[in-house]
């Protein structure tokens, strides 16, 4: 009898994980609620943090994190997508700004009509990532999108962003451990005057403007997780958070004075493009090299 009970109970964790895998296997790999493609990141564990021992102290210790399944934007939010928010009165609806920032940002990002920043207010810039948005504006867009679709959209947590970017095999970047000019838009020593934003999905393995690109999709099919523009996350930033982070679905510290950013921009070196790298800025911060992408909950 004792042996039979042991034989049954020893497989409970395995049966639980199999149930999770079965649930995720029934979910579509890509969904689109009318506002762009979102790719599935299945439930499960991954190791979060700097396993290469090359980053800052805020990237350690490496620790196991278990996340529920979610969808993440296949691309960063584009000018075209953000224009829909602007045109629909997103800056004038207070309900979208419950996280803060209501009435502080006018009616569009300051770079919206900038040719240098590929602003969305100018023609032929629809496919470029929106830049110059604060954390508050990114959150407001997600809340607007939730209202339009009836599903919950939000910024990713740091853990969700990192898993979506590098998968479960602890790779340095979204595609592997090495980086060159064909994989992402970053400062690889070119003439500074030649550096500029690229449209989303630019690095897909095709020939682009004389450059043979490599497909830079993450293990789950999200593009440009590395380079071009850095991305806002939902979390407050804390340099010591990994020391006490909960194992399941961590959402960051309860308070703070800065929000977390992930990846680097097109003027940043390869060091800042690492998937385990962490950065921080105040929620009002706006930059020509900062944008965002959204999570869509199941």
Q: Is the pLDDT of residue 8 over 90?
A: no
According to the model, what pLDDT value does residue 191 have?
80
**CB-based contacts of 188, cutoff 8 Å, min separation 6:** 179, 180, 181, 269, 270
Q: Between 11 and 296, name the one with better pLDDT.
A: 296
Residue 277 has pLDDT above 80, yes or no: yes
Q: How many CA atoms lie within 13 A of 172 on its CB side?
A: 15
At 232, is the pLDDT very low, low, confident or very high (cuts 50, 70, 90)?
A: very high
Q: Return all residues near 240 (Cβ < 8 A) that are at least 6 apart.
A: 58
For residue 87, tell me if it sits in a domain.
yes
Q: What is the CATH number of the domain that holds 78?
A: 3.90.1580.10
What is this structure's pTM?
0.92
Residue 160 falls inside a structural domain: yes
Task: Confirm whether 6 is domain-assigned.
Answer: no
How many domains does the chain fold into?
1
- The total of other beta-carbon atoms located within 10 Å of residue 152's CB is 15
User: At residue 4, does pLDDT exceed 50?
Assistant: no
- 82 within some domain: yes
Instruction: Please report whether residue 91 resides in a domain.
Output: yes
Q: What is the pLDDT of residue 37?
A: 98
Residue 125, burial from CB neighbour count under 10 angstroms (0-12, 13-18, 19+):
buried
Q: For residue 147, what are the domain limits?
A: 30-296
- Is residue 7, in this structure, part of any structural domain at all? no
Query: Do residues 88 and 95 lie in contact, with contact meaning Cβ atoms separated by under 8 Å?
Result: no
- Tell me the pLDDT tens digit for each residue of 145-191: 999 999 999 999 999 999 999 999 999 999 999 999 999 999 999 88
């Amino acid at each position: 009898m004792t042996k039979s009970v042991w034989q049954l109970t020893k497989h409970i964790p395995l049966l639980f994980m199999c149930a999770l895998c079965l649930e995720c296997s029934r979910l579509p790999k890509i969904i689109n609620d009318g506002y762009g493609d979102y790719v599935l990141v299945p439930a499960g564990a991954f190791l979060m943090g700097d396993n290469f021992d090359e980053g800052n102290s805020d990237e350690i210790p490496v620790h196991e994190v278990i996340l529920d399944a979610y969808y993440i934007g296949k691309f960063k939010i584009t000018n075209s997508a953000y224009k829909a928010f602007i045109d629909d009165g997103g800056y004038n609806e207070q309900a979208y700004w419950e996280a803060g920032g209501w009435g502080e940002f006018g009616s569009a990002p300051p770079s919206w009509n900038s040719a240098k920043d590929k602003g969305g207010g100018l023609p032929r810039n629809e496919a470029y990532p929106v830049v110059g948005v604060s954390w508050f504006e990114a959150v407001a867009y997600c809340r607007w999108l939730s209202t339009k679709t009836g599903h919950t959209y939000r910024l990713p947590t740091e853990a969700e962003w990192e898993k979506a970017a590098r998968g479960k095999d602890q790779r340095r970047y979204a595609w592997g451990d090495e980086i060159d000019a064909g994989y992402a838009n970053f400062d690889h020593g070119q003439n500074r005057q030649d550096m500029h934003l690229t449209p989303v999905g630019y690095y897909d393995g095709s020939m682009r403007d004389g450059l043979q690109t490599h497909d830079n999709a993450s293990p789950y099919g999200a593009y440009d997780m590395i380079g071009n523009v850095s991305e806002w996350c939902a979390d407050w930033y804390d340099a010591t958070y990994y020391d006490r982070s909960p194992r399941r679905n961590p959402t960051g510290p309860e308070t703070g004075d800065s929000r977390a950013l992930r990846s680097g921009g097109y003027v940043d070196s390869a060091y800042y493009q690492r998937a385990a790298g962490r950065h921080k800025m105040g929620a009002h911060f706006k930059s020509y090299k900062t944008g965002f992408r959204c999570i869509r909950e199941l």
